[in-house]
Chains A and B, each alone.
Chain A
Amino acid sequence: MLRRAANFLFRHPRWALGLLLGPPLLWLGVVYLGSLAALLVQSFFHVDEFTGQVVRSFSFATYAQLFTPANLDIFRRTTLMAATVTIAAALLSFPLAYYMARYARGRVRSLLYLGVILPLWSSYIVRVYSWKLILAKEGILSWFFSAAGLGRVLDAVLAIPGIGGPSLSFSTLGRFLVFLYIWLPYMILPIQAALERVPKSLLEASADLGAPPGKTFRKVTLPLALPGVIAGSIFTFSLTLGDFIIPGTIGDSSLFIGQAVLRHQGTAGNVPLAAAMTVVPMLIMAAYLAWARRLGAFDAL
């Protein structure tokens, strides 16, 4: 029976291809792209102010609501955080990824891999809440600072307007630290994978042609690792743009895009506005990718 099926597929390769790609394409096409389309359509509906009912007709009324100062503030805050987290993650990841790809061998390499991936095994919510405890006023970080006689330094940092707050767990700085921690593996792994694909002979060739290590890094290593950095940054950037758990748990009461979407579609029942707000991070990502493309980030692909 199985053999007959196999023989049939051998003689009809198109059927084999169809069976192979059918289910995932169906999933992608209907469930994934379909829901995106539904989202897009919803964003052009609007809520009637008097009845509170969704009016199912095309208008830009909902999009106009995005441009209130409060909403613009949310977009600016979220994007700024996403960009800062991305840059910090890239700077922090690169040396480690470089070491993992170029130097680490055997046990050290396995341990580093495990160290990077291990946090992903535990629940994301648990990790965010444990950071809440770490960053709390009575938490281990405050304790560490005061034990090291650096309590004043921490106070001074927390006093900085814009990033400070009553304690780390209620500050923008705290939010930043938790975002950075949670998304770091998503930056390390793609950079490491990109660096791993750079043959050692390319670095030798560069040195052979007269380039000292710094120049080799700028002219060979970095351009070839850039697709990895961009891949990682897509994760860190878009995950930060859409997240609502971390800004809801750590930091002050200022909203991020994800939280606002949650409120509009849940508590406020304004699904069109929630949909329109979801389109914003998508547009920001598209702009970001277009910019990366113009920088030549994908030339080495």
Chain B
Amino acid sequence: MTAMAAMAAMAVRFVDVSRHFGEVRAVDGVSLEIADGEFFAMLGPSGSGKTTCLRMLAGFERPTAGRVELHGRDVTDLPPYERDVNTVFQDYALFPHLSVADNVAYGLTIKKVAKPEIRRRVAEALDLVCLPDYGARKPAQLSGGQRQRVALARALINRPRVLLLDEPLGALDLKLRQQMQTELKAIQRQVGITFLFVTHDQEEALAMSDRLAVFNQGRVEQVGTPAEVYERPRTVFVAGFVGTTNLLLGDLAQRLTGTPGPAAIRPERIRLLAPEASAGPGEASATGSIREAVYLGMHTRYTVELDEGGELAVVAQNLDADAADAACAQGRRVRLAWEPSAIRALVG
């Protein structure tokens, strides 16, 4: 793809966008580009500016500075009803006085689409979210998961070029959330439009997105594919927020990396060996004793106190260990081994 074509294909562009509420810089100089058809996640803790960014794209907030573009068109000053995006709200925002079918039909009714076509497309949209026979019900008669699907159908029926999702799975329980993750992904592939997804759940962001942006204090810390962000975190914040990590600072960093850091190594990249065993060729290693072992079913999480000072968290799969092993692991002498390349240098 040439540079020009890449520019033209950008579904969403934030150009140096800021949003200040009085003294508070909710969004502070964010620049982002999201390609057409991408499943893009904005990940960050609450108050990091991700939802404000989404709201500026939808038109509910106006940037204090900067420019928001949709498919190359500057929409910074357009009201929400003039924008070709639709939103799935965190609280679903279904109209309580309208039936499910009327909720889904809302956008088409506003556009004065012919009645028979509305009926056909409502049926289609409810089929898409697997609620074909729910048209006559009121939102109050639905479960949380069903409301979420109706909200999705109500947005998708308008065939927006970009769909915005504000923590849409936040209110669902774990099982339902995992099921909806898969379904959302399938629906996105089916309709082929850009999905822009806000979440504070790093697992969700990793599982669903083609690319993600990690937000912190109104700024974007890193943009990349889930693998890039997880395996090559750029900053201390990203390394800590996406997955768990051993943050190496000061003495510990000096000893393990030869530089004062900061650096990070994932707990699952460290191997737990018997103290007398030797590390593999090219591997670095250190000895210590287990201070704490937490049995987590599929794996056990150890905190190891190194003989030379400092602690490292290690996660080991429970291939032939069980809860009883974890229970008596405390105080056991171990050797830790890792590939030096597993340690990533970070930006403060």
Contacts and interface: CB of A to CB of B under 8 A. Distances in A.
Interface of A: 199, 201-202, 204-212, 215, 219-220, 223-224, 299-300
A208 B106 CA distance: 10
Contacts of A206: 95, 106
Contacts of B95: 202, 205-206, 220
B91 interface: yes
Contacts of A201: 89-91, 93
A299 B97 CA distance: 6
Given A204-B60, A215-B110, A210 B81 contact: yes
A204 B89 contact: yes
A207 B81 contact: yes
B59 interface: yes
Top-10 shortest CB links A-B: A209-B107, A205-B93, A201-B93, A207-B80, A300-B97, A210-B110, A208-B87, A211-B110, A223-B97, A207-B81
Contacts of A300: 96-97
Contacts of A220: 95
Nearest to B109: A219
B16 to A, nearest CB: 25
B58 interface: yes
B111 interface: yes
B158 interface: yes
Contacts of A204: 58, 60, 80, 87, 89, 93
Contacts of A209: 81, 86, 106-107, 110, 154-155, 158
Given A199-B93, A212-B81, A300-B96, A205 B111 contact: no
Contacts of A199: 91, 93
B250 interface: no
B243 interface: no
A244 B90 CA distance: 52
B95 to A, nearest CB: 6
Contacts, number: 63
Contacts of A299: 97
B89 to A, nearest CB: 5
Contacts of B106: 206, 209, 211, 219
A210 B158 contact: yes
B340 interface: no
A215 to B, nearest CB: 6
A224 B91 contact: no
B132 interface: no
A224 B79 contact: no
A208 B110 contact: no
A215 B158 CA distance: 17
A201 B59 CA distance: 13
Interface in B141-172: 154-155, 158
A267 B140 CA distance: 55
A216 to B, nearest CB: 8
18 contacts: A199-B93, A201-B89, A201-B90, A204-B89, A205-B93, A207-B80, A208-B59, A208-B85, A208-B86, A208-B87, A209-B86, A209-B107, A209-B154, A210-B110, A210-B111, A211-B106, A212-B79, A300-B97
Given A207-B79, A208-B155, A215-B110, 17 more contacts: A201-B89, A201-B90, A201-B91, A201-B93, A202-B95, A204-B93, A205-B87, A206-B95, A207-B81, A209-B81, A209-B158, A210-B158, A211-B81, A211-B110, A212-B81, A224-B97, A300-B97
Nearest to A212: B81
Contacts of B79: 207, 212
A205 B81 contact: no
A154 B96 CA distance: 48
A154 B51 CA distance: 57
Nearest to B166: A201
Interface in B109-146: 110-111
Contacts of B155: 208-209
Contacts of B81: 207-212
Which one of B60, B93, B107, B154 has the highest number of Cβ atoms from chain A below 10 Å of its Cβ?
Answer: B93
B198 to A, nearest CB: 14
A195 to B, nearest CB: 14
B56 to A, nearest CB: 13
A299 B138 CA distance: 10
B93 A210 contact: no
A73 B242 CA distance: 79
Which one of A199, A206, A207, A215 has the highest number of Cβ atoms from chain B below 10 Å of its Cβ?
Answer: A207
A212 B81 CA distance: 6
A212 B79 CA distance: 9
B105 to A, nearest CB: 10
A232 to B, nearest CB: 18
Which one of A199, A219, A224, A299 has the highest number of Cβ atoms from chain B below 10 Å of its Cβ?
Answer: A219
Contact of B59 (A205, A207, A211): A207
Contacts of A205: 87, 89, 93-95
Contacts of B60: 204, 207-208
Contacts of A223: 97
B112 to A, nearest CB: 10
Contacts of B80: 204, 207-208
A191 B90 CA distance: 27
A40 B95 CA distance: 43
A211 B81 CA distance: 6
A208 B83 CA distance: 8
